């Protein structure tokens, strides 16, 4: 049977100094039989810390018997924040929990968790693993990770009812367990046996020092890579969405052919990839431009209901009736139509709509001449894979020969070899990396409105949408 004396000695031998502050995450039952029960455990921990030490426990939910009992201890101080709530007992209790609710975040710098990091407090996991380590939310919060959310609550402080929203609040699943090997390699964990329980003792400032470097290198460091984990897939998508919005010069869209055969599949794959727009080229294996107006409107409405906006209707063929397609797009509430570069007869472009020309497998001069012949076109959609298939180097020759710097509104992120075989990005002859880099630098100077980056627009990609998004992210990370 474990005694109070055993517990005090174990923490002393592990290096816990007198007068320290320690945040405890615990599973009482993991200890086995304890003489004096859970109260004896709290007594022992306070004795190990000494009269100048302070014991802190998270109490934002029913997290075990020790979290309930700590609140009943003489001198216990509970933070007035309804989220991430902690309870502290000891001479620094009031200082630690003071004004917790006033902070912009629940777990950031001006909170009990930030206090731990600034003041070298200890974090203890008694019979539980890193998955229960709420201090790790501090590192997420201070890094302002894009997958975190706002959280609101109503509560009472000093008799006054308050409603407040905090930023960067943690969401569902995390792979905090996977961070332990990093802490071990850095010798940041002292582990020992206490009864039947494994105990991990760490300094908060050391955890922050070690893991901050990891999170700076990879904001997804706390997320698992299981493709069946919907939570982490969604959170990774948020990170990519944030990166794309910061690093790309326009909105990011994707070909519906690449996104999926059916609309629900498109919505699921686009959301899992962190993309909010879709370019309608094919639906259920058929060209979207050949759909009836009411069918096309139904697709647009279903996508909108699923949180996906349509960036354009893309026509993959030279139509005998381009006016009918433009009118159909207007009826379906699609604001932009992309036609192959061709000297069409006059097309009336309805007010508020945009008409783009895109190069097929043709030279830059041919595409530029077709564009110049039709004055009502709003801009040009540059497809580097098609220029490569025409035997041109898209960046080195096509971009300059066609003087597309003056007309480009959209850049298709597609790649292919000169023989037309599609490839992953920057693995063919389409000079995708060079095109993306120059457009990031000059920011589509022809555009008076929104410019567009289209994954899979106007050509095939040899993989899934999620693979294409990861491919683009790799390019962005290496530019």
The pLDDT value given to residue 371: 86
Measured distance CA(269)–CA(248) in Å, rounded:
20
pLDDT at res. 448: 61
Q: How far is CA 268 from CA 238, 305, 468, 471, in A?
A: 14, 12, 15, 19
177: phi then psi, degrees, rounded to nearest 5: -60, -35
Residue pointed to by tokens 């023989």: 419
pLDDT for the residue numbered 399: 95
Distances (CA, A) of 293 to 33, 44, 297, 333: 73, 75, 6, 10
SS3 29: helix
How far is Cα 237 from Cα 464, in angstroms, rounded to an integer? 15
Rounded Cα distance, 110 and 450, in Å: 39
pLDDT of residue 345: 81
Grouped pLDDT means (10 residues each) for the chain, 479 residues: 95 97 97 95 97 97 94 95 97 96 96 97 97 96 96 92 96 92 97 97 98 96 94 95 91 97 97 97 96 96 98 96 95 96 87 93 94 79 96 96 91 96 96 91 69 95 96 93
Burial class (CB in 10 A: 0-12, 13-18, 19+), 321: exposed
Break the chain into its structural domains and give their ranges. Answer: 4-217, 230-477
pLDDT value at residue 299: 98
Three state DSSP letters for 79-145: CCCCCCCEEEECCCHHHHHCCHHHCCECCCCCCHHHHHHHCCCEEEEECCCHHHCCCHHHHHHHCCC
Tell me the β-bridge partners of 54: 21
Give the number of residues written for the chain: 479
**Cα dihedral 316→319→323→327 (10° resolution):** -40
DSSP, res 394: I
CATH code of the domain made up of 230-477:
3.20.20.150
pTM: 0.88
């Amino acid at each position: 049977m474990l005694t109070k004396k055993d517990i005090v000695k174990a923490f002393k031998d592990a290096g816990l100094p007198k007068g320290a502050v320690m945040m405890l995450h615990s599973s009482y039952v993991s200890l086995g039989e304890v003489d004096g029960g859970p109260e004896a455990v709290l007594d022992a921990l306070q004795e190990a810390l000494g009269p100048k030490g302070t014991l802190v426990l998270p109490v934002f939910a029913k997290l075990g018997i020790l979290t309930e009992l700590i609140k009943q201890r003489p001198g216990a101080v509970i933070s007035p924040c309804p989220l991430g709530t902690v309870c502290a007992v000891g001479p620094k209790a009031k200082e630690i929990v003071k004004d917790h609710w006033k902070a912009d975040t629940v777990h950031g710098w001006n909170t009990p968790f930030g206090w731990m990091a600034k003041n070298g407090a200890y974090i203890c996991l008694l019979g539980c693993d890193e998955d229960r380590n709420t201090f790790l939310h501090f590192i997420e919060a201070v890094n302002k990770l894009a997958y975190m959310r706002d959280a609101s609550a109503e509560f009472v402080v000093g008799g006054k009812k308050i409603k407040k929203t905090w930023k960067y609040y943690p969401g569902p699943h995390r792979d905090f367990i996977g961070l332990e090997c990093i802490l071990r390699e850095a010798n940041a964990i002292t582990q020992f046996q206490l009864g039947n329980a494994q105990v991990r003792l760490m300094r908060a400032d050391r955890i922050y020092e070690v893991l901050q470097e990891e999170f700076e290198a990879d904001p997804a460091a706390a997320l698992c890579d299981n493709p069946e984990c919907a939570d982490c897939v969604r959170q990774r998508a948020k990170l990519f969405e944030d990166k794309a919005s910061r690093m790309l010069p326009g909105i990011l869209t994707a070909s519906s052919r690449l996104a999926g055969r059916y609309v629900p599949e498109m919505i699921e794959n686009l959301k899992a990839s962190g993309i909010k727009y879709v370019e309608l080229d094919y639906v259920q294996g058929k060209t979207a431009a050949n759909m009836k107006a009411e069918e096309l409107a139904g697709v647009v409405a279903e996508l909108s209901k699923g949180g996906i906006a349509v960036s354009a209707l893309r026509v993959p063929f030279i139509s005998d009736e381009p006016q009918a397609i433009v009118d159909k797009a207007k009826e379906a509430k699609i604001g932009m139509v992309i036609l192959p570069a061709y000297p069409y007869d006059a097309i009336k472009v309805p007010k508020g709509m945009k008409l783009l020309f895109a190069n097929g497998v043709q030279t830059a001069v041919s595409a530029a001449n077709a564009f110049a012949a039709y004055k009502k076109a709003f801009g040009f959609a540059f497809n580097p894979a098609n220029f490569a298939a025409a035997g041109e180097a898209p960046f080195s020759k096509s971009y300059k020969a066609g003087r597309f710097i003056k007309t480009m509104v959209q850049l298709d992120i597609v790649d292919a070899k000169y023989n037309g075989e599609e490839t992953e990005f920057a693995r063919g002859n389409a000079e995708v990396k060079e095109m993306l880099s120059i457009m990031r630098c000059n920011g589509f100077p022809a555009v008076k409105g929104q410019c567009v980056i289209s994954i899979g627009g106007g050509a095939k990609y040899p993989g899934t949408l999620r693979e294409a998004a990861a491919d683009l992210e790799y390019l962005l990370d290496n530019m």
